[in-house]
Structure 1
Amino acid sequence: MRAAIFRNGAIVVDHIAEPKPGAGQVLVKTLACGICGSDLHARKHAHRMVAMARYSPGRKPMDLKRDVVFGHEFCCEVVDYGPATQRRLKVGTHVCSLPALITPTGPQGIGYSNDNIGGYAEAMLLSEPLLLEVPNGLSPEHAALTEPLAVGVHAVAKANIRGGEVPLVIGCGPVGLAVIAALRLKGLHPIIAADYSPTRRRLAEKMGADVVVDPATTQPYATWAEHAAMSEAEKAARPPFQAHLAALKPALIFECVGVPGLLQQVFEGAPRDARIVVVGVCMETDTSEPMLGIIKELSVQYVLGYTPEEFSASLRLLAEGQVDGAALVTGRVGIDGVAQAFDDLANPEAHTKIIVEPWR
């Protein structure tokens, strides 16, 4: 079968053996797979992913001398079952799954593995217990958005919203847009969003942002402060000791870019007592001034992935039309177009989410 393969630092197209389902596994035809920002980072910084794997017990690092098939945002079609399976879903059923395989030694990831084929291939293996049937006739390209949406849902859940916070989302790529959608569903307003790209600012509004900011012309934190000003009643209700502090509602800042220097910028711009949720995946060594965090008493929460429940809920949100998946998909390519798509995604005015359709 054909696949787009990460080999020697580049994306190449080649033939690989079709996988055979083992115990508890299902052979599926890959219908659609989103290209994730983490895949773009991995192409350039795979060695950092390998180095960091040593800090994650049980995680098997990639061997960069061997082939890897990326792709962890997928929707597939059931083709065949391996032994020791219940066969609860008919052949031809469209399914999504967490990007993991259940094995006797524990879960193994799909997408950054030499052994487990990801979604940039014509077929792959999934674990039967993790399969979720795609409901409501949701199209494969939109069902494939379940995974990135779940990242945003999880980030908002980890923020421990108490009510009354004013959120600021830095970066309106796919992750930032997912965070905005999740904040809207939580009913937290106004949502302030910042991005240099006019296209992504428009998408942020479509996803639920109330105010969008171009950092090239407007300071995001100043705009946030304008919309976070306390009412006179809220000012009067504060304890006497807090009267000398800025009369601002609690700040909830989501860093959704993941490049060196961004966290330091957030530290500099954030108001006192802000809660910062780091969603963007920075794969390079970064620096920040701890004293800024100390002086301002900032809280920093790093997040990764999602729970199975959040993943399932995200699929339902898309299927029920509560999140507009169609607005996020800006391109479709076959296997031969994956390498070019990686380059095209560098232009935020051209693309937000490109879907790989291996049989295209």
Structure 2
Amino acid sequence: MRAAALLNGVITATDVPEPPELGPDQVLVAVHSCGICGSDLSLWKDAQTFVDVSIAGQNTLSVFDPTRPVVPGHEFAGTVVGVGTDVEGFGLGDRVAGIGVATDVETGEMTIIGYSNKYPGAFAERVVVDSGFLRLLPSGLSFDAAALAEPLHVGESHVQQSGFRSGEAALVVGAGPIGLGVVIALAQRGCESLVVVEPSPTRRRIAAGFGATTVAAPMAGGPVAAVPGDTGGSSLVVYECSGRQGALDELIRTLPIGSRIQVVASPFTPEVFVPVIAQWRQIVVNFGSGPVEDPYGVTLGRLARGEIDTTELITGRVSIEEVGSAFESLLDPEEHFKIVVHPQGGPGE
């Protein structure tokens, strides 16, 4: 089958083997739409560091051999073209999307498709995924829009984990697709003071359209300088979505005493901060711990009900042959917000 494969920092459209045989609880999906994720860009820039950090963090879901080809892509939507013997709730022809997890039938180990030499990701014509991570698409929801559920649900998940409460002020640092997911989740909760700090004018405009009450470019004094002084003494919840080196230390040193930081995006390199400063200033830092209640389903429902206008979010659509050039173009945040790959070549309807 055709796929866009990564090897030695180069993405090439090529022929790759079909996915492994289906396990009893797995589904074969013909991919119609797959978004290019920021983590795909991290993988492309430095696959070895990506794997080294995964190993150090004991994240076996994204460990593979970077000296061999890998097909990225996990923000997928498509049509069921094969079902395992024990699969319930899905049949041939069903329109689906979900979280791209596959359990290796031979080893029993789980992997994220796109970060595996064995289980190709969704920049390929077909993928194998565990049925437990799939959802049927609501009627009328396009494949392209459904593919946005995966990145946007990350924001919903982190807002749930942060314990955001009505009346609190929120500061979102970075307004890429993940940061926008946070903005959407906060706006849906009626956040009345929702501040976004983002260097890209285009992304600031999009964030304002999705409910940010204040948008600003980075400025002297750190992101907190953009927070209005009339928040009424409300506690401040900060969502670090930039992944910028040094961002965490800057926030710890400058936020109001008692603020909470939800780390949504993180660099793959060491981060230096002084723990006692955070302790003295009573700063709570959460790297993604806490209960969640179906953030993917919540996000998919919002998309299906039209509560998330996707017209400005998908700024490019490419074939497998064009994936390499699409990665290059995503280095400029003013050129694109989200590019969707169409492995079957047709529209993502």
Alpha-carbon distance between aligned partners in 1 of 2:61 and 2:133, rounded to the nearest angstrom = 19
- Per the alignment, residue 226 of structure 2 pairs with 223
Equivalent in 109, 112, 119 of residue 116 of structure 1: 119
Deviation at 1:276, TM superposition (A): 0.4
- Per the alignment, residue 241 of structure 1 pairs with none
- Per the alignment, residue 18 of structure 1 pairs with 18
Give the 3 Å change call, closer, same or farther, for CA 110–308 of structure 1 in structure 2: farther
Equivalent in 266, 271, 279 of residue 286 of structure 1: 271
- Per the alignment, residue 78 of structure 1 pairs with 80
Deviation at 1:294, TM superposition (A): 2.3
Equivalent in 158, 162, 165 of residue 162 of structure 1: 165
- Per the alignment, residue 9 of structure 1 pairs with 9
Q: Does residue 131 of the first structure (1) align with residue 167 of the second (2)?
A: no
Alpha-carbon distance between aligned partners in 2 of 1:74 and 1:81, rounded to the nearest angstrom = 17
Deviation at 1:289, TM superposition (A): 2.7
Query: Could you tell me whether the CA contact under 8 Å between 1:279 and 1:304 is conserved in 2?
Result: no
- Structure 2 unaligned spans of 5+: none
Range with bigger deviation, 41-50 or 170-179: 41-50
Q: Deviations over 1:115-167 (max 9, x none)?
A: 11111001111222332110031111110001111100001001112332100
Deviation at 1:224, TM superposition (A): 0.8
Query: Could you tell me whether the CA contact under 8 Å between 1:4 and 1:13 is conserved in 2?
Result: yes
Equivalent in 67, 70, 74 of residue 69 of structure 2: 67
- Per the alignment, residue 31 of structure 1 pairs with 32
Equivalent in 93, 107, 113 of residue 110 of structure 2: 107
Query: Could you tell me whether the CA contact under 8 Å between 1:33 and 1:73 is conserved in 2?
Result: yes
Alpha-carbon distance between aligned partners in 2 of 1:305 and 1:64, rounded to the nearest angstrom = 32
Alpha-carbon distance between aligned partners in 1 of 2:292 and 2:326, rounded to the nearest angstrom = 29
Deviation at 1:225, TM superposition (A): 4.2
- Per the alignment, residue 235 of structure 1 pairs with none
Question: SS of 2:227's equivalent?
Answer: helix
Give the 3 Å change call, closer, same or farther, for CA 328–226 of structure 1 in structure 2: same
Deviation at 1:300, TM superposition (A): 0.4
Q: Which amino acid aligns with 1:317?
A: R
Question: SS of 1:326's equivalent?
Answer: coil
Q: Does residue 94 of the first structure (1) align with residue 79 of the second (2)?
A: no
Q: Does residue 145 of the first structure (1) align with residue 148 of the second (2)?
A: yes
Q: Deviations over 1:88-135 (max 9, x none)?
A: 434222101211124562532222111111110011112223321100
Deviation at 1:83, TM superposition (A): 3.2
Question: SS of 2:68's equivalent?
Answer: coil
Give the TM-score of the pair, scaled to structure 1: 0.89
Q: Deviations over 1:3-50 (max 9, x none)?
A: 011112221111012223232222211000000011111112322232
Range with bigger deviation, 155-164 or 42-51: 42-51
Question: SS of 2:46's equivalent?
Answer: helix
Query: Could you tell me whether the CA contact under 8 Å between 2:24 and 2:87 is conserved in 1?
Result: yes
- Per the alignment, residue 303 of structure 1 pairs with 288
Number of residue pairs aligned between Structure 1 and Structure 2 = 341
Q: Deviations over 1:224-264 (max 9, x none)?
A: 14242x2xxxxxxxxxxxxxxxxx32111111011211112
Give the 3 Å change call, closer, same or farther, for CA 79–314 of structure 1 in structure 2: same
Give the 3 Å change call, closer, same or farther, for CA 304–31 of structure 1 in structure 2: farther
Give the 3 Å change call, closer, same or farther, for CA 5–310 of structure 1 in structure 2: same
Q: Which amino acid aligns with 1:11?
A: I
Question: SS of 2:332's equivalent?
Answer: coil
Instruction: Kindly name which structure, 1 or 2, has the bigger radius of gyration based on alpha carbons.
Output: 1
Question: SS of 2:22's equivalent?
Answer: coil
Aligned residues with identical type, % of pairs = 36
Q: Which amino acid aligns with 2:205?
A: R
Alpha-carbon distance between aligned partners in 2 of 1:357 and 1:304, rounded to the nearest angstrom = 34
Query: Could you tell me whether the CA contact under 8 Å between 1:150 and 1:305 is conserved in 2?
Result: no
- Per the alignment, residue 238 of structure 1 pairs with none
Give the 3 Å change call, closer, same or farther, for CA 280–66 of structure 1 in structure 2: same
Deviation at 1:200, TM superposition (A): 0.4
Alpha-carbon distance between aligned partners in 1 of 2:197 and 2:203, rounded to the nearest angstrom = 9
Question: SS of 1:226's equivalent?
Answer: coil
Structure 1 stretches of 4+ moved >6 Å: none
Alpha-carbon distance between aligned partners in 2 of 1:306 and 1:109, rounded to the nearest angstrom = 22
- Structure 1 unaligned spans of 5+: 231-247
Q: Deviations over 1:151-205 (max 9, x none)?
A: 0000100111233210000111111111000001111211011111110010001
Range with bigger deviation, 9-18 or 249-258: 9-18
CA RMSD of aligned residues (A): 2.1
Query: Which of the two has greater helix per residue?
Result: 1
Question: SS of 2:229's equivalent?
Answer: helix
Q: Which amino acid aligns with 2:87?
A: T
Structure 2 matches for 1:172-183, cutoff 5 A?
Answer: 172-183=175-186
Range with bigger deviation, 328-337 or 280-289: 280-289
Query: Could you tell me whether the CA contact under 8 Å between 1:151 and 1:306 is conserved in 2?
Result: no
Question: SS of 1:325's equivalent?
Answer: coil
Range with bigger deviation, 101-110 or 165-174: 101-110
Give the 3 Å change call, closer, same or farther, for CA 307–291 of structure 1 in structure 2: closer
Deviation at 1:307, TM superposition (A): 5.8
Give the 3 Å change call, closer, same or farther, for CA 115–76 of structure 1 in structure 2: same
- Per the alignment, residue 328 of structure 1 pairs with 313
Deviation at 1:271, TM superposition (A): 1.1
Equivalent in 305, 312, 337 of residue 352 of structure 1: 337
